[in-house]
Amino acid sequence: IAAARAMATDPALGPHLDMGHVGAAGFSMGGMTALALGGAVIDPGHFDDFCATRPADQVCDTAPETPDAPHVTQRDGIHLLGLDQAADRASDGAAFPGLRAILAIAPPVQMLSPESLGRVTARTTLVVGDSDPLVPAATEAGVAARLVKDARLVMVPGAAHYSFVGICTPHGRTVLKLCEWAPEAERAHATALAEAARLFQGTLSPGGQP
């Protein structure tokens, strides 16, 4: 938000920006952030409560690319990082005035207050792989799709979480473990790009929906 405001007031950039027609897009935690910019409120306590009842859900574990990261609750992690005061302000929200469209790709939404998801008014599209074991659609994007008014949920057959990261080259597939976790990457990318064009052209371009 601070960066956008700085650009809006910049004498060179500002005249070219329409801050009433803004869209947000993000993948994984970035998708969660895009929803937060739309008015959803980050609630670490809700995430901890979710994981207490569903400890086997992989979203509650450390990410596979950082297996040595400490496995702590969100509350404990916030305290360890000295972010208690910042966390106390989380309920203030981070809504971006003028945000009209949200593209959230494989977002972990259990970190968000369910009540606040119901207050998101920006036109929202959620894209997720139907074979994502890390951020399963059933307990993540699917929840947001039910709570955000008129949200569009797009499931990519055979795609997993890392299918939306950069497409692996043939050599990359031989040396990077991540490539093994990214089936149907071409389909995932093509779907995300198509949905982005559909969403943002329909809401942010001249003649788009209000």
Q: Looking at the domain assignment, is residue 196 inside a domain?
A: yes
Separation in Å, CA 75 to CA 43, 52, 63, 111, 192: 10, 12, 18, 12, 33
Distance of alpha carbon 154 from alpha carbon 197, whole angstroms:
14
Which one-letter amino acid corresponds to residue 121?
T
Q: Are 98 and 19 in contact (CB under 8 A)?
A: yes
Q: Looking at the domain assignment, is residue 172 inside a domain?
A: yes
How confident is the model at residue 61, as a pLDDT?
85
Q: Looking at the domain assignment, is residue 173 inside a domain?
A: yes
How confident is the model at residue 170, as a pLDDT?
92
How confident is the model at residue 33, as a pLDDT?
94
Which one-letter amino acid corresponds to residue 22?
V
CATH of the domain at 159: 3.40.50.1820
Stretches where the chain sits below pLDDT 70 are 70, 76, 78-79, 81, 83-84, 87, 89-93, 206-210
Q: Looking at the domain assignment, is residue 70 inside a domain?
A: no
How confident is the model at residue 155, as a pLDDT?
98
How confident is the model at residue 76, as a pLDDT?
63
Distance of alpha carbon 186 from alpha carbon 178, whole angstroms:
15
Q: What is the pTM of this model?
A: 0.88
How confident is the model at residue 148, as a pLDDT?
97
Q: Looking at the domain assignment, is residue 4 inside a domain?
A: no
61-89 burial: b if 16+ Cβ within 10 Å, else e: eeeeeeeeeeeebbeebbeeeeeeeebee
Q: Looking at the domain assignment, is residue 122 inside a domain?
A: yes
Q: Looking at the domain assignment, is residue 139 inside a domain?
A: yes
Strands lying side by side in the sheet with 99-105: 22-27, 99-105, 123-129, 152-156
How confident is the model at residue 16, as a pLDDT?
87
Number of structural domains the chain divides into: 1
Which residues constitute the domain of residue 139? 16-43+94-203
First to last CA, the chain: 21
Q: Looking at the domain assignment, is residue 64 inside a domain?
A: no
DSSP H/E element including 188: helix 185-203
Separation in Å, CA 164 to CA 76, 146, 207: 30, 23, 30
Q: What is the pLDDT of residues 9-36, one digit of tens each?
A: 999 998 988 888 899 999 999 999 999 9
Q: Are 123 and 149 in contact (CB under 8 A)?
A: no
